[in-house]
Amino acid sequence: MIILSLTEDFFICFNLNNFTENYRMAYIIKTTSDGLIYIKASFVIHVKKPNSLEGAKVLGQPLVVNAGNIAFLSFNVEGHVTYFMANGFEISVKVLFEEAEEAFNCAQARMERIVR
């Protein structure tokens, strides 16, 4: 398992055993029974914390988000669909609001689903 730490309170875990299988699948956004949301890297606009120099780059790997850490889903000031995290980070994505909302609800309900 690889743990990518972006700040002291925000980290992303990769399980390499499941990672290659998930990475090769044709999906843009999907959920797992563990309450995780996988977002294809090319559909992530940015991961940032407002009023801070901190940020993260997604280097061709899917972004894995724990639905339990999402405070709410809305549009940011730039008009992008954005997951607002409990720790202040914003994850903006290039998907429809309805698709992001479905992924959020399915992940919270711990349902496996390929949304798009």
Single pTM value for the model: 0.76
Please list the pLDDT of the chain residue by residue as tens digits (116 residues). 444 444 444 455 545 445 444 445 589 999 999 999 999 999 999 999 887 766 666 777 899 999 999 999 999 999 999 999 999 999 999 999 999 999 999 999 999 999 98
DSSP string, 22-81: HHHS--SEEE-TTSEEEE-GGGEEEEE-TTSS-EE---SSPEEEEGGGEEEEEE-TTS-E
